[in-house]
Amino acid sequence: MLRTMVKALLALAVTVMLFIAPSQARSLDDIIKEGTIRIGINPNFPPNSSRNANGEWEGFDIEIGNALAKELKVKVEWVPTETPQRVPYLVADKIDISLGALTRNTERAKLIDYTVPLHTEVLAVLTTDKVAAKKWKDLDTSDITLANMRGNWTVNWIKENLPGPKLELVDTIADTVRLVGQGRADAIVENIDFFMAHTKNYPDVKWRVIDDPIFVAYCAIGVGKGNDDLVEVLNIALYSLHSGGTVNELWEKWYGAPMLVKVVPNPYF
């Protein structure tokens, strides 16, 4: 029986290696030669990226992706990647670049490469009139439940900085807002710009943003480890999109308000 077990485990290990062994990222030359760039976007993330009534992708990321593809003179193949899939998809070479508000941090940078920042995000608290907290630190009590998503970097930030509250983790931004809307959770500590669009699904809930921003992080475009040629081209393209004002214009168009903290374009990278 032991032999059968060992055999089965070996077979499993080999199968797993075959299927998920990470491969070399597609080079810039390959992308140009094949005429298509595979861009990872969050499929359910308005106003960044979502499908419109006609089933077409639309949003800030979509316009940025199209602008970058235009610079490279290639077509875009959109690949829906949920929040926790972004880094694994880059590692496994299922996408060439990842949009989807990918926050820069050192843990991710060990596995993937980044371009210069695309936009910022401001960490703050979205809650309802049922919660009395005036400062974000007021949430650090055990009678609070915070909603968030599995695979999100803020989950760990919350565990370190707000150890008191319970955490309820779901899969998408829509579900996270739904948790608070339905009263399963009390607040969302996240980059709340991205969550506001979904609050409209719960018009009877008195939503409010606590006027005490926590900090500013930078989101960049994720690229496969060691794909330097692609990063360089994207950095130059991003510099023109930033300095020409396109990024800020698109942000205002989709978010209905200017980026709270703007990215300062820098020609040296």
Partner 1 sequence: MNYTFQFGIALDRLPELLQGALLTFELGVLAFWGGALIGLLGASLKIYGNRLLYGLAQTYVVFFTNTPALIQIYFLYFGLPEVGIRWSDYTCVLIGLTLNAGAYLTEIMRAGFVSVHRTELEAGETLGMSRFQQIRYIIVPHIAKYIYPAIANFFIVILVMGTSVGAVIGVDELTGQAINISTENYRWLEMFMVTAVIYVVLTFIASISLALIGRWAFRVKAKIF
Instruction: Provide the terminal-to-terminal Cα distance of the chain, rounded to the nearest Å.
Output: 60
Smaller CB separation from partner 1, 3 or 73: 3
Smaller CB separation from partner 1, 21 or 132: 21
Interface stretch with partner 1, choices 123-131, 165-173, 186-194, 211-219 (CB under 8 A)? 165-173
**From the CB of residue 77, how many other CB atoms can be counted at a distance below 10 Å?**
13
The yes or no reply on residue 8 touching partner 1 (CB under 8 A) is yes
**Cα(173)–Cα(19) distance, rounded to whole angstroms?**
29
What mask, x for binding partner 1 by CB under 8 A, covers residues 197 to 236?
---------------------------xxx----------
Number of alpha carbons in the 13 Å side-chain half-sphere of residue 42: 22
Q: How far is the CB of 62 from partner 1 (least distance, A)?
A: 26
Instruction: Looking at the chain, list the stretches that DSSP marks H as alpha helix, in order from N- to C-terminal side.
Output: 2-20, 28-34, 60-72, 86-91, 106-109, 153-161, 173-181, 196-199, 228-243, 246-255
Q: Which of 13, 14, 216, 257 binds partner 1 (CB under 8 A)?
A: 13
Beta partners for residue 216, in sequence order:
122
Are the C-beta atoms of 22 and 90 separated by less than 8 Å?
A: no
Binding to partner 1, residues 104-163 (CB under 8 A):
107-108, 110-111, 150-153, 155-156
The yes or no reply on residue 88 touching partner 1 (CB under 8 A) is yes
Smaller CB separation from partner 1, 84 or 256: 84
Are the C-beta atoms of 164 and 136 separated by less than 8 Å?
A: no
**Cα(49)–Cα(173) distance, rounded to whole angstroms?**
12
Binding to partner 1, residues 14-53 (CB under 8 A):
16, 20-25
Q: How far is the CB of 91 from partner 1 (least distance, A)?
A: 6
Interface stretch with partner 1, choices 9-17, 66-74, 114-122, 252-260 (CB under 8 A)? 9-17
Q: How far is the CB of 231 from partner 1 (least distance, A)?
A: 14
| DSSP, res 149 | E
**Cα(224)–Cα(231) distance, rounded to whole angstroms?**
9
Rg (the chain; Cα; Å): 20
Q: How far is the CB of 253 from partner 1 (least distance, A)?
A: 31
Smaller CB separation from partner 1, 176 or 251: 176
* Binding positions for partner 1, rule: CB under 8 A: 1, 4-5, 8-9, 12-13, 16, 20-25, 84, 87-88, 91, 107-108, 110-111, 150-153, 155-156, 168-171, 175, 178, 182-184, 224-226
